[in-house]
Chain A
């Protein structure tokens, strides 16, 4: 059976070609011009969405076992999302060439059209603006997180995708916007779409990171 590998082992099967780093290297885009979500998604390394989906499911199930209370799970998922958001924003800004948004309306559009596309490969739409332009809804019709998922009766209070709201909150906080993100509609709860309400609480004035003589 097979050829002899290293001492003590016989090779049963081997990959034909090893992929090298160069195979995966995205080509650099010309600097400055903001890039579309599609263009970025096409240029970054990608993985099968099912690995992502099932891994997320495993996380949620672990949390349910450990924390027992659905409310606590919601909180923990939000916290994990927040942790991701505050790190993800760097990659987002580096790859998208998006510069400062003129207003919150532009911010919401960028999240829906560029952010969701570049990380999850899906795009979302923005609707339901209030008259001040500080509160809107991001509607997701396609959401890779919920594939293969059905909420059992015991978990009806669970916001299964709560990690997403944490991500948005964390990422926006890093660009000086305090927001409140809540779920208005959830397909797993029988709604026809996933709707996240993003509300701008306040714009934190930027401070220089250094302090003199302190």
Chain B
């Protein structure tokens, strides 16, 4: 079997020193790759909901790994246990690492206690994407919603996370809103912690 008798420098990934994470690739390399991800998944589904779910799954895998990585690197192996703490971790730390900037805004729903949203004027993954008319509601932000869900879920804050377009007055392109609806148990725990 190939791979037997390994002589590589490190026995496994965990023995490697953790990089500082400052390495970069060109935005177009990412855009090309992301577009292949979307196109491949399009061949595997027959409706938009299913396509978004698959993109969300791909994002979830990224989010779960990001949490682990960032907790090691930025937070001395500690992770947030409070609702606002983890939300601002997503909004600032995770966003900054992934997209090079803090998210435009993080807001709390006044009508529902369990709803929060992160808004972005121009989400990185939507930069080079044009949505055909017959797929109007489809949003590649589903991938980023998946990243957010991956981080939250792995940190012990299960939530339903969805991406939506919100048309903006005077702007040609709508902004993207990532809507986070936490599971009941999260709010109960939060209330108990006071």
Residues of B95-109 contacting chain A, CB below 8 A: 97-109
Decide if B105 touches A5 in the complex (CB within 8 Å).
yes
Decide if B12 touches A59 in the complex (CB within 8 Å).
no
Of the listed stretches A27-35, A103-111, A185-193, A197-205, name the one at the interface; the rest are far from the partner chain: A185-193
Known: A44-B28, A91-B28. A9 touches B36 (CB 8 A): no
CB distance from B40 to the nearest CB of A (A): 7
Residue among A9, A18, A62, A91 making CB contact with B57, cutoff 8 Å: A62
B66 within 8 A of A: yes
| Contact partners of B29 in chain A: CB under 8 A | 52, 119-120
| Contact partners of B62 in chain A: CB under 8 A | 51, 54-55, 57-58
Residues of A110-166 contacting chain B, CB below 8 A: 118-121, 144, 147-151, 153, 156-157, 163
| Contact partners of B65 in chain A: CB under 8 A | 54, 57, 148
Name A81's closest neighbour in chain B (CB-CB): B36
Known: A13-B88, A18-B121. A46 touches B27 (CB 8 A): yes
| Contact partners of A189 in chain B: CB under 8 A | 2-3, 6
| Contact partners of B5 in chain A: CB under 8 A | 190
CB distance from B73 to the nearest CB of A (A): 10
Decide if B124 touches A9 in the complex (CB within 8 Å).
no
B21 within 8 A of A: yes
Known: A58-B58, A120-B26. A12 touches B2 (CB 8 A): no
Decide if A47 touches B44 in the complex (CB within 8 Å).
no
B92 within 8 A of A: yes
| Contact partners of A10 in chain B: CB under 8 A | 107-108, 110
| Contact partners of B124 in chain A: CB under 8 A | 47
Contact with A along B78-97 (1 / 0, CB 8 A): 00000010011001100001
Decide if B21 touches A58 in the complex (CB within 8 Å).
no
Interface residue tally for chain A (C-beta within 8 Å): 61
B111 within 8 A of A: yes
CB distance from B160 to the nearest CB of A (A): 18
Interface residue tally for chain B (C-beta within 8 Å): 62
Contact with B along A46-82 (1 / 0, CB 8 A): 1111111011111101110010000000001000100
B191 within 8 A of A: no
A15 within 8 A of B: yes
| Contact partners of B3 in chain A: CB under 8 A | 151, 153, 156, 189-190
Decide if A119 touches B26 in the complex (CB within 8 Å).
yes
A19 within 8 A of B: yes
| Contact partners of A66 in chain B: CB under 8 A | 44
Contact with B along A1-28 (1 / 0, CB 8 A): 1100110111111111011000000000
| Contact partners of B19 in chain A: CB under 8 A | 147
CB distance from B37 to the nearest CB of A (A): 5
| Contact partners of A174 in chain B: CB under 8 A | none
Decide if A119 touches B28 in the complex (CB within 8 Å).
yes
For the complex, give the distance between the alpha carbons of A48 and B99 in Å.
Answer: 7
A88 within 8 A of B: yes
A97 within 8 A of B: no
Residue among B44, B59, B99, B108 making CB contact with A58, cutoff 8 Å: B59
For the complex, give the distance between the alpha carbons of A15 and B118 in Å.
Answer: 11
| Contact partners of B121 in chain A: CB under 8 A | 18
A83 within 8 A of B: yes
B149 within 8 A of A: no
- List the 6 closest A-B pairs by CB distance, nearest first: A190-B6, A49-B23, A46-B24, A9-B107, A45-B27, A58-B58
Cβ contacts A to B, 14 pairs, < 8 Å = A2-B107, A10-B107, A18-B121, A19-B101, A48-B24, A55-B30, A55-B58, A58-B61, A59-B40, A83-B36, A121-B26, A153-B3, A190-B8, A192-B9
